[in-house]
Structures are given as structure tokens and as C-alpha cells.
Amino acid sequence: MVLRKAFVLVFALFFLASSAYAIEAAGITMPDTLKAGDQDLVANGGGKRTKFGMKVYVAALYLKQKSGDAAMIINADEPMGIKLQITSGLVTPDKMKTAIDEGFEKSTGGNVAPIQAKIDAFTAIFKGLANGDIYDFIYVPGKGVEIYKAGKLSSVIQGLDFKKALFGIWLGKDPAQDDLKEKMLGK
């Protein structure tokens, strides 16, 4: 009997500990882990993006190990990912492209010319965007940023330069939203 109670207690503690890492925002629960190649990444943090008081999307950051150092994350040449789920029917492909273009402008300090073709390839993935769509942007060193829509590989954009600019949209000095940056950093 004592052994059974101990097993139930250990199982309950394991379940509570493992579920403590789930990210929940705007009614969306993001998974605890994400794959980058053959590497398992852990949820670092995440939250919702709002604009004019409306929930636009939920984003979560995944790393090899948790970190709150935005500059280190942006510059690291190691596996990492961002999962993004659209939470508003008011987000159109054109509005998303405009927002992403603005994000790249900010994250590169206005120097988008060297990666403009890569940005164009990236924004093209949002052509059929709809409420509820889920995107994964997974950086794999030596390969590039793998872009998944609904779990299916859409494209791969090569280069650490692109990865830095992409992650800079949310984690840079002038992020898409300050409190989202803090939540993605686990703060």
C-alpha cells in the first residue's frame, strides 16, 4: 500500500513538473518541446502578440537550454525555433507581410538589402494565411531556417544572417512587442 502511494505521488510530481513547462497564452497551449533536426528543443517562453488591443498571434521560443539572453540567442549558431499560431481572422496575408517587413527593417537597423531575397521568400509563406494557422521557424546550423506550415516543410532559407534577422524581429533591441519579447525570454 505504501509503495502504491509512493508511486502515485512520484507520478503526480512528474506530471506536474513536466506540464509546468507548457506555454499558454490567449487560450493557446504550445508544446513543451520542438524538434530541430535530430535535436530536441525545450520551450523557453512565449506569449501573445497584440495590436490595437486585439490578439494577433501566439509565439513561443524553443532552445537547447533555457536562456534569457536575447543577444546570445540571436547570435548563436545553434538549433532553435519559434512556433507561431495565428489567433485572429483579421490577420490577412498582406497585413502579415507588412508586419514582417517592418520587423526585418527594425531587426537589421534598416539594412535589409543583403537579405532582401531571403525576406521575400519568407514572406511568401504567408500567402494563404488564415486564422488558426501554425508556423514553425526552425534554425538548423549548416542548413538554415526550415519553415513549416501545419507541420509540413514549406521551404528552407539558408544563412545565419537570415536567422539572426528573423529572431531579431521578436528578440532584438526594437522587438515586435516588448512584453512578448520578455515572455519569450522566460521573464
CATH of the domain at 93: 3.50.70.10
Total domains, the chain: 1
pLDDT at 11: 41
Q: Which has the closest alpha carbon to 36: 84, 80, 85? A: 80
pLDDT of residue 139: 98
Report the SS3 class of residue 103: helix
In a domain, 14, yes or no: no
Task: List pLDDT tens digits, range 11-44.
Answer: 444 444 444 446 776 677 888 999 998 899 999 9
Using only C-alpha atoms, the chain has a radius of gyration, in whole angstroms, of 18
130 belongs to a structural domain: yes
Higher per-residue confidence, 18 vs 72? 72
In angstroms, rounded to a whole number, what is the distance separating the alpha carbons of residues 125 and 120?
9
SS3 46: strand
| Residue 1 located in a structural domain | no
- The Cα–Cα gap between 42 and 124 comes to 28
C-alpha cell at position 93: 496575408
Please provide the DSSP assignment of 63-94 as one string: ESS----HHHHHH--S-EEEEEEE--TT--HH
Q: Which residues pair with 149 in a beta bridge?
A: 135, 152
Owning domain of residue 53: 23-184
